[in-house]
Amino acid sequence: MIKEIIESNDLVFPNSKQIEILKENFPACFKQDGTFDIERFKSYLNNKLLVNNEGYELKFLGKNYARLLASLDTTTVVVPNEIHNNKIENKNSDNVYISGDNLDGIKHLLKSYSQKIKFIYIDPPYNTGSDGFVYKDKFSFSVEELTQKLSIEEEQANRILDLTKRGSASHSAWLMFMYPRLLLARDLLTEDGVIFISIDENECHNLKLLCDDVFGEENFISELTWEKKKKGSYLAHDITNIKESIIVYSRDKSLFNGLIGEVNEDVETYPCVNANNPRDVRYIPAGIMSKYKEKNFIMKKGEVISDTTMNLVLKSDLVIKDGQLAEDLQIEGNWRYGQEKMFEYATRKELYITQDLYLRRIVREPRYKGLKDLLLRLGDKKESGYSYSFDENNLQSGGWGSNEDADEEQRLLFGEQGLMTYPKPVLLLMKLISSVKDDSMYICDFFSGSGTTAEAVMRLNANGKRHHFIVIQLPENLDELSDNLTGDNKKQVGKLIHYLDEQNRSHTLDQLGLERLTRVAKNIRIGQTVDNFDWGFQHYTLKEPEQGTIDKLEKFDNQEMFLVNDILEDFGTQTVLTTWLLHDGYGFNASVEAINFNGYTGYYIDKHLYLINKDISQEAITAILDKYEKDENFNAENIVLFGYSFLWTKIDELKLNLARLKATEKNLHINFDVRY
C-alpha cells in the first residue's frame, strides 16, 4: 500500500484534486490529450459572469507548495498502543488520541471520517516570535521536481526549498504551514460543521484571509473575542493585551444552526405588530381569548386602535362576547407575522386580544439567542476561579474562564503549575462545544497541546452528552526544543521535562496530554452516575518507515523475492490492519473478527477479509474456501492481501481456488486487492 502511495505521489500536482472534480463534473471541457479547455469551460458559466485573470485573493510564498502538500498521500502507518488500548476502560472507547504530525493524521482521518466531524477546535502556534514556531518540512523535493510540479521558475523553487530546509517563522512560512491543514480540515467537517481557531493579533488578519480562501468568505460566522486574563504585564511599556480572537467558520453557513448563547424556556408573550413592518390585512378567526376589561364589547368597522407608534384599522366589526372574539375579524396593521402563522397561533390558542385591544401571542417553545461576540473572563457575579459547571441555557452567565483559571486546573490535576504556557481553560471549550447545541457529535482538535479539548469532551459526557473526541498532537522532542530556547521559555520546558520524568514518561509533548486524560478519566469516574459513560480513549502513533525500508519497497518485485524487513516485520500485524481499516472507511475501534483458517489467522469485517500474515498453507486456503461455502453469514466480497507476505504463485493459487465459487449458489464475485 505504501509502495502504491509513493508511486502515486510522484504524479500528484497541487491542483490534482481540483482537476478530478472538474473531470467529474465537466468532462466535455477536457481535450483528447487530457488538457483543460478553459474557453469551453467559460461557456458553461453564466453569460453575465465576468471571468478575469485578476481578482482579490491571498498570495504568499509557497501557496502552491502548500496545496501540493495537501494533495500528497501520507506514507505513515498507524501504530496502535496495544497495551493501552486493550485495558478494560479503553477497549471499546470511541475516543482517540493520535501522536503524530497532524498533516499526516488528518490525511488518515479523511479515509474514514470525511464529512463526519461536526466540531473542530484548534489552538495553533501564533507565530509571535517567542512561541517556538519554526516551519520545518519533512518532505524532500529537488529544484527540478518543484519547478515541474508547481510550474515555477528555479529561483522561486530555491526560495521555497530554502524556507523549508532552514526553518522560518515568517508570515509566509506560517501560512504555508497552516494552509494544507485547513484545506484538509474542511473536508473533515459535516455540511453543517463548524471550526473554531484561536489566534492573537500577530496572524489574526492573515488567518481571516486564509480561511476566506479555504472555507469561502460567505461561510464566515464570527470573530469572537475572549478576555484571557485579568491584566497585562506589569512591566510592559506598550499597550498590554488581555484578549485573544477565536475565528469561526462553517463548511456551509446556510446549513449551520448557529452559535446559541442563551435559551429561554419561560412562557412569554410577544406583540403581533411591529411599527417598522409593512402594513397589510390579517384575518383573525373567532374563538380567541380577550383580556379587554369589558366581557361583551363591539367596535365598528373603520374605527382605529392607536397609540403613539402604530395603529390598527378595523376592516370588519370587532365583536367580543363572554370574553372571546365572537366573529371572524379583518384588521389592518404593521404585522410581525404572516397570515398562515396568525391562523396557526389562533388554532393553538396562543393568540389573544390584550387589555388595550391589540393582539399578542403566547410563546411556550424555547427561544434561542445567538452567542455574544465578547467572551468575558468573569460572569454575572464578577467572581474569578476555575469551574466545570455552567448554565447550558445561558452561556454568558458565569464567564468563560481565563489563563489563570487554566493554571489552577493544571495545579489541581498535575500537582504543578506552569507546565504549559498560556493554556486554555476547560470551561472555555465546554461552552464553545455547548454553543453548537448538539448532544452527540465528533469533536476534533489537531493541535491538542495538553489535551484541553479532550478533557472538555469528557466532562460534558459526564453530564450526559454523547460526544466523541479525536485529537492529534505532535510528539515534539522537548530536549531538542529546550536546546533552542533561552530564559523563561527554557525554564518552562525544563519544568515540563522534569514532570514527565517523575511520571516515567518520555520527553515528548504528547505525553503530557496522555497523562492528563488518564488522570481526568480517573477523577471523573469516581462517583460517576451516567450510564454507559465512555471514560477511556484509544491511543495510536503515526510512524514513518525507515528510509531503508522505503527504498526496498520501491524496488520490490513480488515475482522474485520476499521483502526483508518490511512494514510487517517493523511494525506488526495490528499496525497494517489498523492502517487498512482506516483506509477502507471503518475508522478506529472497528469490530474485527479474527478467524482461524486451519492455523492461519485472517481478519474479517463487513465485506472485507484481510490476509496479512506470511506462510499461508494449502490447508488454510481450503479452510477459507470452506468458510465461503458453509457459513451463510460470511460474505467477504473483497480479499485484501499484504503483498509482501505472498509469493505470486500463492496469490494465483488463492484466486483459482476461489474462482469456482462463482458457479455455486452464492454466486460470489470476489475482488482481490493486493497492497504493497
pLDDT of residue 48: 46
pLDDT in tens, 367-384: 899 999 999 998 776 777
Q: What is the mean pLDDT of residues 141-153?
A: 81
pLDDT in tens, 307-339: 777 789 999 999 999 999 999 999 999 999 999
Q: Where are the domains of the chain?
A: 1-55, 266-365, 547-675
Highest mean pLDDT among 129-143, 626-640, 654-668: 626-640
- Going by pLDDT thresholds of 50, 70 and 90, the confidence category of residue 667 is low
All residues at 6 or more sequence positions from 431 whose CB lies less than 8 Å from its CB, including other chains: 375, 390, 395, 400
**Range in 499-508, 546-555, 590-599, 648-657 the model is least confident about:** 546-555
Distances (CA, A) of 190 to 1, 128, 193, 232, 462: 28, 32, 5, 39, 25
Q: Which region holds residue 263: left if phi is over 0, alpha if psi is between -120 and 50, else beta? A: beta
Distance from C-alpha of 81 to C-alpha of 502, rounded to nearest angstrom: 21
- Going by pLDDT thresholds of 50, 70 and 90, the confidence category of residue 653 is confident
**Closest among 616, 670, 604 to 643, alpha carbons compared:** 616
**Contact assessment for residue 110 and residue 71, using Cβ atoms and an 8 Å cutoff:** no
169 pLDDT more than 90: no
Question: pLDDT exceeding 90 applies to what percent of the chain?
Answer: 57
Q: What is the mean pLDDT of residues 630-642?
A: 88
More confident residue, 463 or 667: 463
pLDDT of residue 230: 79
pLDDT of residue 670: 84
- Going by pLDDT thresholds of 50, 70 and 90, the confidence category of residue 457 is very high
Distance from C-alpha of 89 to C-alpha of 328, rounded to nearest angstrom: 66
**3-class SS of residue 273:** strand
Strands 638-642 and 608-611, by their bridges, are: parallel
Q: What's the chain's length in residues?
A: 676
pLDDT of residue 563: 47
pLDDT of residue 161: 84
**Closest among 657, 615, 617 to 639, alpha carbons compared:** 657
Question: pLDDT exceeding 70 applies to what percent of the chain?
Answer: 86
**Range in 174-188, 234-248, 604-618 the model is least confident about:** 234-248
**How confident is the prediction for the chain on average, in pLDDT?**
87
Distance from C-alpha of 508 to C-alpha of 173, rounded to nearest angstrom: 24
The number of beta carbons lying within 10 Å of the beta carbon of residue 518 is: 18
Half-sphere exposure of 65 (CA within 13 A, CB side): 29
3-state secondary structure 77-137: EEEECHHHHCCCCCCCCCCEEEECCHHHHHHHHHHHHCCCEEEEEECCCCCCCCCCCCECC
More confident residue, 629 or 10: 629
664 pLDDT more than 80: no
**Closest among 402, 357, 394 to 378, alpha carbons compared:** 402
Burial class (CB in 10 A: 0-12, 13-18, 19+), 134: middle
Distance from C-alpha of 133 to C-alpha of 162, rounded to nearest angstrom: 17
pLDDT of residue 24: 62
pLDDT of residue 226: 96
All residues at 6 or more sequence positions from 598 whose CB lies less than 8 Å from its CB, including other chains: 617, 619, 620, 622, 623
566 pLDDT more than 90: no
All residues at 6 or more sequence positions from 296 whose CB lies less than 8 Å from its CB, including other chains: 320, 321, 322
**Closest among 472, 420, 410, 470 to 446, alpha carbons compared:** 472
- Going by pLDDT thresholds of 50, 70 and 90, the confidence category of residue 561 is very low
pLDDT in tens, 225-241: 999 987 766 555 667 78
**Contact assessment for residue 448 and residue 527, using Cβ atoms and an 8 Å cutoff:** no
Beta bridge partners of 246: 198, 224
Amino acid present at 279: R
**Range in 32-46, 67-81, 109-123 the model is least confident about:** 32-46
Cell, residue 323 = 370574553
Distances (CA, A) of 96 to 60, 156, 355: 34, 40, 60
**3-class SS of residue 452:** helix
Amino acid present at 66: A
pLDDT in tens, 577-605: 999 999 999 999 899 999 999 999 999 99
pLDDT in tens, 386-398: 889 999 999 998 8
Q: What is the mean pLDDT of residues 83-101?
A: 95
pLDDT of residue 485: 80
pLDDT of residue 49: 43
- Going by pLDDT thresholds of 50, 70 and 90, the confidence category of residue 5 is low
pLDDT in tens, 237-290: 667 788 999 999 999 999 999 999 999 988 999 999 998 899 999 999 999 999
pLDDT in tens, 15-64: 676 777 776 666 656 665 667 777 656 655 554 444 445 556 788 888 99
